[in-house]
């Protein structure tokens, strides 16, 4: 694991004393419990790669639909774009695998939510360049972009803290990955996990998050080679029912040296 990006932590944590609602970077189903829509754009900075357009990356659309009480239905769809300068590919974009899930109500005493969902095998005939752009933009959620793969996810998400001030957020989600269609192979088990720290001050929220993915079903492979990790630093500002935000994500693994960082911009609309 490469810890060079951790030098940013002291500087960023020092900013918590600055006057700084719920924000997520990579903890996928984490949210503030409000019904609404969300749009996220992930744009990677890649080395040794032909130049590509500013809109290349992953455009993720998500809806949270009320089911009664504090429970929500979560639907998300990733859309990949890979527009390289000097390459006139016929297909420069494609949809990935659609996710449909249930986000349970938050327990007031512990701040814990349970979630359950499936990622449907809707990604089909994705050009290699487009699939690679999706993976390089968002490799911790690689099952969004793999063809002929269906997954079942069940996990726990938690948050402790006050509406105003510091908080800690965490999540752990096992994911069963089953080949479908023309893909052959055994069922695999992925483990998604993350820990976030942040501060809310007024309408401004700042946070830092470390998230990982581990191929738990890998045989004869140590943890370091069967896992990937990212560090995210970002902020969000709430303007009434609209909350724009931005973060930068840095890989912490030496086997992905061509990914410098990823710009992660999002917009949430409460309804």
One DSSP character per residue, 172-239 reads EEEEEEEE-TT--S--EEEEEEEEEEEEEETTEEEEEEEEEEEETT-SS--TTTSEEEEEEEEEEE-B
The pLDDT value given to residue 106:
80
Contacts 24+ apart (CB under 8 A), 161-167: 161/111, 161/198, 161/200, 162/200, 163/200, 164/200, 164/201, 164/202, 165/199, 165/200, 165/201, 166/16, 166/197, 166/198, 166/199, 167/197, 167/198, 167/199, 167/200
The pLDDT value given to residue 67:
87
Domain at 108, CATH number? 2.40.160.40
- 235: containing domain: 4-270
Specify the number of domains making up the chain: 1
* Residue whose structure tokens are 């793999």: 146
Q: Are strands 149-161 and 165-179 parallel, antiparallel or unpaired?
A: antiparallel
CA–CA separation, 183 vs 172, rounded Å? 27
CA–CA separation, 105 vs 44, rounded Å? 34
CA–CA separation, 42 vs 199, rounded Å? 23
- Spatial neighbors of 88 by CB under 8 A, at least 6 apart, are none
Q: Each residue's pLDDT tens digit in the chain (271 positions)?
A: 443 444 334 333 333 333 224 455 454 444 455 668 889 999 999 998 889 999 999 999 999 888 887 888 999 999 999 998 877 777 899 999 999 999 888 887 777 888 899 999 999 889 888 999 999 998 889 899 999 999 999 999 888 887 789 989 889 999 999 999 888 888 999 999 999 999 989 999 999 999 999 999 988 888 888 999 999 999 999 898 898 999 999 999 888 888 999 999 999 888 7
The pLDDT value given to residue 33:
52
By CB atoms closer than 10 A (0-12, 13-18, 19+), residue 136 is buried
Contact 82, 49 (CB under 8 A): no
Paired tokens of 88:
């006139």
Nearest to 245 by CA among 21, 15, 11, 17: 21
Would you list the DSSP string of 12-44?
A: HHHGGGS------SS-TT---S--EEEEEEEEE
Contact 194, 26 (CB under 8 A): yes
């Amino acid at each position: 694991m490469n810890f060079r990006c951790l030098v940013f932590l002291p500087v960023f944590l020092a900013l918590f004393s600055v006057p700084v609602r719920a924000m997520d970077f990579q903890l996928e189903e984490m949210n503030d419990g409000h019904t609404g829509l969300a749009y996220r754009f992930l744009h990677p900075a890649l080395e040794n790669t032909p130049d590509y357009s500013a809109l290349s990356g992953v455009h993720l659309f998500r809806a949270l639909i009320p089911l009664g009480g504090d429970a929500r239905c979560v639907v998300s769809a990733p859309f990949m774009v890979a527009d390289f300068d000097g390459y006139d590919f016929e297909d420069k974009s494609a949809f990935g695998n659609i996710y449909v899930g249930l986000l349970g109500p938050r327990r007031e005493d512990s701040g814990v939510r349970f979630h359950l969902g499936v990622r449907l095998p809707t990604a089909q005939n994705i050009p290699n360049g487009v699939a690679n752009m999706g993976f390089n933009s968002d490799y911790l959620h690689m099952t969004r972009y793999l063809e002929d793969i269906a997954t079942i996810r069940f996990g726990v998400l938690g948050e402790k803290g006050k509406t105003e001030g510091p908080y800690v957020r965490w999540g752990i989600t096992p994911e069963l990955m089953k080949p479908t269609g023309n893909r052959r192979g055994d069922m695999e088990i992925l483990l998604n996990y993350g820990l976030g720290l942040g501060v809310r001050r007024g309408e401004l929220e700042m946070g830092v998050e470390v998230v990982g993915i581990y191929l738990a079903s890998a045989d004869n492979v140590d943890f370091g080679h069967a896992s990937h990790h990212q560090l995210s630093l970002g902020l969000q500002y709430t303007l009434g029912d609209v909350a724009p935000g931005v973060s930068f994500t840095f890989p912490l693994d030496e086997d992905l040296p061509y990914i410098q960082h990823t710009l992660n911009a999002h917009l949430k609309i409460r309804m």
